[in-house]
Homo-oligomer: A and B are copies of this chain.
Amino acid sequence: MRRSQRVVALTRRLIEEPGRWWNLDDLATEFGAAKSSLSEDVALVREVLAAEGAGVVESRVGAGGGIRFLPLMTAGEATELANELCRRLTDPRRILAGGFLYLGDLVADPVLLERIGRLFATLFRDRGPEAVMTVEARGIPIALMTARALRVPLVMVRRSARLSEGPVVTMNYLSSSGARVETMTLAKKALEGVHRLLIVDDFMRNGGSARGLVDLAREFEVEPVGVGVLIETAEPAEKRLKEYVAVALIEQVDVDERRVRVRMSPRLPGCPPAAAAGTSRLA
């Protein structure tokens, strides 16, 4: 294989499996290349992916040495994503009876979901989550794409226990309105070996579900290292949870005027520059 062919094969592997460690000796053997040539290939791929703002190629030396690709979102791309989300949310055709907004198409779009997952992975990776947890059903696509970008398992909390989950831990909590008792249930096996986890969800009104997920994690003696939600509402201003990240903020849904007022959430932090995320760990 020539250099230009090797870098295609290398880029394919890195992008297709974010977070996977690739052993350089194995790659050199597979490509029939000297290790010194492969090192130059890696440097080239790293440079292009960094210049494009795609993410960081990390190296580690030693017996288990190798390279891996960590997808990252630049601050510019994060702002673009938030703006696009806001634009899509303002479409008056989303307005449902009772002032609800139809969001089904957003958690159904694999291209948008990939970007949301990459954003949450960028914001929370440094806190070392070992799993991404959400509650069924609309949070699952967002949680899965975040888990994929972080290369950690997805944890799906259910609304009711199923025989096929085996023994479960069940917790009751107050609904958003405060009027109902809701249930969350999780298989005892689901968090085996997990010490730190990231919580994500599609929507937050008063924070009851996210609060429930945080409490459930603690019931399993697992530390919730962060909470990310796609969309929050301005009302109620007081949420049941103090610390969380949100991408879009719905300020008002006017059913009579058929108008939705949305803006980027002040809870969306700037993305850390790729250099900060990667350099210190580069060999």
Q: Enumerate chain A interface residues (CB-CB to B < 8 A).
A: 3-5, 7-9, 11-12, 15-17, 20, 44-45, 47-49, 52, 54, 96-98, 100-105, 107-111, 113-114, 136-138, 140-141, 144-145, 147-148, 151-156, 158, 163-166, 187, 189-190, 203
Contact = CB atoms under 8 A, between A and B. Distances in A.
Given A4-B4, A8-B45, A141-B140, A104 B15 contact: no
A144 B5 contact: no
Contact of A100 (B141, B151, B164): B164
A203 B158 CA distance: 17
A138 to B, nearest CB: 7
Nearest to A18: B110
B12 A15 contact: yes
A15 B11 contact: yes
B163 A111 contact: no
B9 A52 contact: yes
Given A4-B4, A165-B104, A141 B144 contact: yes
